């Protein structure tokens, strides 16, 4: 039977990505890695269940996703911030770019690669995948020097890679006698394309800044998507690097509009949706077999590029006396590689396809190495980025731990109860809110937190609980207060402080408690005034032993039954 159309393929990929995200969360994987691994599973490397002809129909969505991510990145660089960090970032960038290029080029020459292959791969090694890197940082909600420098270095790395690759490619064509125009003419074409992409981005950004305040709020998303899509179409039509276009567009909006935050918030959900499509599709496009075909050159490229990124940053950071977090972790955030390197290697193959001699084979070898190693860099890169911002203490607790929500069994029970109510049946056996007591509705087997527990123990409790409020008890089991997840979730997760903090240090008084013989209406009244998701239940007499909790969702389900009846 013939496979259904591209719409079915797109739906299958998005459903698979949703499943991958759920599974990945259980194993504490970044969503990007989960989506990529699901794509690899569905792609030619394993199941091979996605028709290749559908990729051309889905490709515009993936390009739009990259454009949105680049626009978002550009919006984070108003001139005031750029001036503040530019000098320090430029020094780090020069160290990292120089070390990466030299290690890759010299290392591959020592492994026996041709000088053309070594130089081209040295230039391609500079590039860092913008979509992968920025999306992982956004997912972790990290803030700090490592995150800020990473955003800037991603832009500089890709710009340097494009320029270095084009210049080296022109030099190789010249030395092989295959350069059709004069070197100055070729350089002029390159300068024209780079300047044209920046001018286009600036014009689009000014248009968005001007029109955003004039357009009705309900139509602003149409304006943004229309402007970005039009700019993307012009880039593809005139074959100019759209990476620069959307970085320039975002930076222009950041410096010409007072509503940059509203612009980003407007695009946020659309960006998230399209990035799901992009990464699972990108995963399908990854071919594990290419890594085998890359051979010794591929293994060398992996090792030399990774060493160049890490050591280059470390040496440059030591030279300019950066803080330890920059020296130790910034290099790891730059490992991902995909779009720019793949595109440039593909361009090289296309430009030399009709030439004679060894150049076509050289470019094909370069492309094979890039396609093979991208599999490793794209899957390992997000893990390294997440680890880097975690260890540098720039991630809020809410993103550093896996805090489960409603469980599958509990959600199934809620759906079943609602279905029973819809058909006029009573899942609570006819008992009303006034007839039930706290004792009958409370959950007894609830884990409490000892006041002497370490912060690591508190985190472990959060990770294994579906509540957002955690009772804290003393040595005799008496309630002394609660830890509220929402109050901790925005605190930076610094593992170095773990052994020094105890549960009692982050405990706040329990504003309201319940007693077993009180009516359910008492819980309803408290929940109406409180944001807590559960209320501790304690013994009415001294000492006030902790007995369990009443959860908001249990009370709400009971009320829904009564309202529906």
Predicted confidence (pLDDT) at residue 432 exceeds the cutoff of 80: no
- The structure tokens 């056996």 sit at 429
Does residue 99 belong to any structural domain of this protein? yes
Are 140 and 185 in a shared domain?
yes
Residues 212, 216, 220, 221, Cα dihedral to 10°: 180
Average pLDDT, stretch 82-91? Answer: 84
Are 438 and 515 in a shared domain?
yes
Contact 166, 347 (CB under 8 A): no
**Percentage of the chain modeled with pLDDT above 90:** 39
Average pLDDT, stretch 29-34? Answer: 89
pLDDT of 94 reads 94
Are 492 and 343 in a shared domain?
no
List C-alpha distances in Å: 513 to 32, 294, 417, 547.
Answer: 42, 65, 27, 11
Average pLDDT, stretch 19-43? Answer: 88
Does residue 46 belong to any structural domain of this protein? no
**pLDDT one-digit tens code per residue, 87-122:** 889 999 999 999 999 999 999 999 999 999 999 999
How many alpha carbons lie under 13 Å from residue 61 in its C-beta half-sphere? Answer: 22
Are 390 and 466 in a shared domain?
no
Average pLDDT, stretch 507-519? Answer: 88
Predicted confidence (pLDDT) at residue 551 exceeds the cutoff of 70: yes
pLDDT of 343 reads 86
pLDDT of 1 reads 43
Which two tokens mark 32? 């990007």
Order of all β-strands in the sheet with 479-484: 449-450, 469-473, 479-484
pLDDT of 562 reads 57
Does residue 453 belong to any structural domain of this protein? yes
Average pLDDT, stretch 198-223? Answer: 93
Which two tokens mark 532? 């807590």
Average pLDDT, stretch 462-488? Answer: 84
Does residue 1 belong to any structural domain of this protein? no
Stronger pLDDT, 511 or 95, i.e. the higher one: 95
Are 388 and 427 in a shared domain?
no
How many CB atoms sit inside 10 A of residue 434's CB?
Answer: 10
What is the spatial distance between Cα 407 and Cα 396, in angstroms, rounded to a whole number? 23
Are 112 and 81 in a shared domain?
yes
Q: Which CATH number fits the domain that encloses residue 267? A: 1.20.1530.20
Are 428 and 534 in a shared domain?
yes
DSSP string, 257-312: -S-HHHHHHHHHHHHHHHHHHHHHHHHHH--HHHHHHHHHHHHHHHHHHHHHHHHH
**pLDDT one-digit tens code per residue, 386-421:** 999 988 888 877 677 766 666 676 677 777 777 876
Mean pLDDT, the chain, rounded, equals: 86
DSSP string, 322-346: --HHHHHHGGGGG----HHHHHHHH
Strand 546-551 relative to strand 479-484, pairing: unpaired
Could you tell me how far CA 5 lies from the centroid of its own chain? 29
Structural domain span for residue 477:
408-564
Domain end among 374, 395, 416: 395
Domain end among 395, 423, 450: 395
Does residue 522 belong to any structural domain of this protein? yes
- Angle made by CA atoms 518, 521, 527, in degrees to the nearest 5: 105
Are 417 and 389 in a shared domain?
no
Are 243 and 310 in a shared domain?
yes
Which two tokens mark 17? 């990505």
**Percentage of the chain modeled with pLDDT above 70:** 92
| H or E stretch at 468 | none
Are 390 and 440 in a shared domain?
no
Average pLDDT, stretch 346-358? Answer: 86
What is the spatial distance between Cα 399 and Cα 251, in angstroms, rounded to a whole number? 28
What is the spatial distance between Cα 92 and Cα 74, in angstroms, rounded to a whole number? 20
Are 121 and 254 in a shared domain?
yes
| 39-53, 293-307, 361-375: least confidently modelled range | 39-53
What is the spatial distance between Cα 109 and Cα 116, in angstroms, rounded to a whole number? 10
Which two tokens mark 437? 């007591």
- In total, how many domains does the chain have? 2
Residues 166, 171, 175, 181, Cα dihedral to 10°: 70
Contact 166, 213 (CB under 8 A): no
Does residue 292 belong to any structural domain of this protein? no
Which two tokens mark 14? 């998005």
Contact 513, 536 (CB under 8 A): yes
**pLDDT one-digit tens code per residue, 322-341:** 999 999 999 999 999 987 88
Does residue 285 belong to any structural domain of this protein? no
Q: Which CATH number fits the domain that encloses residue 456? A: 3.10.580.10
Does residue 465 belong to any structural domain of this protein? yes
For residue 56, the SS3 value is helix
pLDDT band at 361 (very low <50, low <70, confident <90, very high): very high
Stronger pLDDT, 52 or 363, i.e. the higher one: 363
- The structure tokens 């660089």 sit at 77
**Cα dihedral sign, 202-205-207-210:** negative
pLDDT of 404 reads 67
Predicted confidence (pLDDT) at residue 247 exceeds the cutoff of 60: yes
Are 379 and 437 in a shared domain?
no
Predicted confidence (pLDDT) at residue 282 exceeds the cutoff of 80: yes
What is the spatial distance between Cα 279 and Cα 381, in angstroms, rounded to a whole number? 13
What is the spatial distance between Cα 540 and Cα 478, in angstroms, rounded to a whole number? 12
pLDDT of 399 reads 72
Domain end among 332, 361, 395: 395
Burial class (CB in 10 A: 0-12, 13-18, 19+), 479: buried
Average pLDDT, stretch 189-207? Answer: 92
């Amino acid at each position: 039977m013939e496979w259904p159309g591209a719409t079915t393929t797109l739906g299958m990929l998005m459903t698979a990505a949703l499943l991958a995200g759920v599974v990945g969360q259980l194993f504490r994987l970044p969503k990007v890695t989960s989506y990529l691994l699901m794509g690899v599973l569905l792609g030619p490397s394993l199941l091979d269940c996605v028709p290749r002809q559908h990729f051309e129909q889905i490709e515009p969505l993936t390009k739009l996703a990259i454009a949105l991510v680049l626009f978002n990145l550009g919006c984070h660089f108003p001139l005031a911030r750029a001036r503040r960090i530019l000098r320090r970032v430029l020094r780090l960038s020069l160290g990292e770019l120089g070390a990466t290029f030299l290690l890759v080029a010299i290392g591959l020459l020592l492994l026996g690669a041709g000088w053309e292959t070594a130089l081209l791969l040295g230039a391609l090694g500079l590039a860092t995948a913008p979509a992968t890197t920025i999306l992982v940082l956004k997912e972790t909600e990290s803030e700090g020097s490592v995150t800020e420098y990473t955003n800037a270095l991603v832009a500089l790395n890709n710009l340097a890679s494009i320029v270095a690759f084009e210049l080296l490619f022109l030099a190789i064509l010249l030395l092989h006698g295959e350069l059709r125009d004069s070197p100055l003419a070729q350089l002029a074409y390159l300068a024209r394309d780079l300047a044209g992409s920046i001018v286009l981005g600036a014009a689009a950004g000014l248009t968005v800044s001007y029109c955003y305040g004039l357009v009705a709020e309900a139509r602003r998303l149409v304006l943004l998507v229309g402007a970005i899509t039009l700019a993307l179409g012009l880039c593809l039509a005139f074959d100019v690097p759209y990476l620069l276009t959307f970085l320039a567009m975002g930076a222009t909006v950041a410096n010409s509009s007072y509503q940059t935050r509203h612009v980003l918030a407007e695009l946020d959900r659309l960006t998230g949706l399209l990035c799901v499509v992009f990464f699972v599709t990108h995963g399908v496009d990854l071919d594990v077999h290419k890594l085998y075909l890359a051979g010794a050159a591929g293994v060398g490229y992996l090792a030399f590029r990774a060493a160049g990124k890490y050591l280059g940053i470390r040496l440059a950071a030591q030279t300019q006396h950066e803080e330890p977090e920059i020296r130790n972790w910034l290099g790891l955030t730059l490992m991902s590689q995909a779009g720019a390197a793949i595109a440039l290697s593909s361009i090289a193959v296309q430009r030399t396809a009709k030439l004679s001699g060894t150049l076509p084979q050289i470019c094909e070898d370069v492309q094979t190495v890039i396609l093979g190693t991208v599999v490793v860099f794209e899957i390992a890169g997000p893990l390294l980025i997440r680890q880097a911002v975690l260890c540098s203490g720039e991630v809020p607790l809410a993103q550093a731990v896996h805090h489960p929500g409603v469980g599958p069994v509990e959600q199934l029970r809620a759906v079943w109860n609602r279905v029973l109510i819809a058909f006029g049946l009573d899942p609570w056996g006819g008992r009303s809110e006034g007839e039930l007591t706290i004792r009958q509705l409370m959950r007894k087997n609830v884990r409490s937190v000892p006041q002497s527990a370490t912060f690591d123990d508190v985190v472990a409790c959060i990770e294994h609980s579906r509540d957002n409020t955690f009772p804290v008890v003393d040595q005799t089991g008496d309630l002394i207060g609660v830890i509220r997840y929402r109050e901790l979730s925005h605190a930076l997760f610094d593992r170095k402080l773990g052994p020094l903090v105890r549960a009692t240090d982050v405990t706040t008084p329990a504003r309201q408690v319940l007693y077993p013989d009180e009516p359910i209406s008492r819980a309803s009244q408290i929940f109406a005034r409180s944001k807590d998701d559960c209320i501790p239940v304690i013994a009415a007499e001294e000492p006030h032993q902790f007995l369990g909790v009443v959860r908001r969702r249990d009370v709400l389900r009971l009320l829904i039954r009564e309202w529906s009846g």
